[in-house]
Amino acid sequence: MLSRMILLCFNTGFFAIASAYFNVAINKSAYQQYPLSPGDDRFDASNAVDGRKSDLSVDGGQCAMSVLGRKTATWWVNLTSIYSIHQITIYFLTNNKDSAFWQSLNGGYFLGFSVYVSNTTDRSQGTLCFKDNTFTIKTIPPVFTTNCFVHGQYVIYYNERLPGVVYPDGYKSYVWIDLCEVEVYGELSI
């Protein structure tokens, strides 16, 4: 958990006020494009904000998963209010394998992903917090964290493989959602 401390000094000594940044996405409403099995809770978008990340496998029931063979992947969480966001952490589906094995098999489906914060479900109306243009299948982490100091209600994960675009080596020809947990650390914006 991210935290911060504010110290105030008075004539009588020190007085401390503590506040913390919490995962403001936990158990919030989520959406995913092209769900793997609509109506099947094992792969539902909400699995990526349920706080569970002990089993990052296909059969673990803790991950949001999309249909294979798509050219775009969109997932978002509605924080229900505007929050001051500080950090976003994403746990990708790894089938509980070590980093090198996961990267070689599945990393190419996630390369090029973006993370946005918006006040609507339209990423183009939001702020781009991160756009992957440096990871390779050997360097994409199974758990990704980025700082993002913006205000917003929706955190949006997006990836694409557009026709006519030449992508770097290692990029697969289609993308997946396959997110096991998305943590959004922040505080209510006042």
Q: How confident is the model at residue 141 (pLDDT cuts 50, 70, 90)?
A: very high
Q: What is the pLDDT of residue 13?
A: 53
Q: What is the pLDDT of residue 38?
A: 84
Average pLDDT over residues 5-31: 67
Q: What is the spatial distance between Cα 135 and Cα 112, in angstroms, rounded to a whole number?
A: 8
Closest-CA residue to 92 (of 64, 67, 70, 117) = 64
Helices (H), the chain: 99-110
Which residue has tokens 């978008």?
45
Q: What is the pLDDT of residue 119?
A: 98
Closest-CA residue to 49 (of 163, 145, 185, 169) = 185
Average pLDDT over residues 140-153: 97
**Average model confidence (pLDDT) across the chain:** 89
Amino acid at 26: I
3-state helix, strand, coil in the chain (%, to 5): 15, 45, 40
Contact 172, 154 (CB under 8 A): no
- What the block records as the tokens of 74 is 């969109």
- End-to-end Cα separation, the chain, in angstroms: 21
pLDDT over 80 at 87, yes or no: yes
Q: Which CATH architecture has domain 22-188?
A: Sandwich (2.60)
pLDDT over 60 at 11, yes or no: no
Average pLDDT over residues 160-185: 95
pLDDT over 60 at 33, yes or no: yes
**Residue-wise pLDDT tens digits, 40-56:** 889 999 999 999 999 99
Contact 30, 156 (CB under 8 A): no
Cβ–Cβ contacts within 10 Å for residue 76, how many? 26
Q: What is the pLDDT of residue 106?
A: 87
Q: What is the pLDDT of residue 67?
A: 92
Domain boundaries, the chain: 22-188
Give percent above pLDDT 70 in the chain.
89
